[in-house]
Structure 1
Amino acid sequence: MARALPFWFSREIGTYAIEGVDSGCLVRGVLHGVACTAVLLAAVAVASSVRLRQRTHLKFLGPR
């Protein structure tokens, strides 16, 4: 469950730096950080595009 959190990569990179374990922690941490950045950036882009496309000040009157 902890691996689903966005800042789990910092724990992996910290474990590599402090404890001196194999490079697997570093690779997993960097890949997780890149993946989280991409997912969160996509979520912000979708939310922004939906929000910016709303034009509440314009009203469609339809055919007369």
Structure 2
Amino acid sequence: MIRSFDYDAAQRRLDVEFVSGRRYFYLDVPEREVEAMRRATSKGGFFNRRIRDRYRFERG
């Protein structure tokens, strides 16, 4: 589901690239959420539970 992700702490922006090639930028994501995502066994599962539908986003 998720090919890669990166976090800009200064902007609190989580950049997610999906295996489909689509990119989304999730805004105002706390750093603690991203750290938890990095530790998660299933990045896609974590994303679905804790990021998707909780934070505003822009399509890249």
In which range does the TM-score fall when normalised by the shorter chain?
A: under 0.3
Higher normalized strand content (fraction of residues):
2
Greater share of helix residues, 1 or 2?
1
**Structure with more relative contact order (C-alpha pairs < 8 Å, separation 6 or more):** 2
Which of structures 1 and 2 has the bigger CA Rg? 1
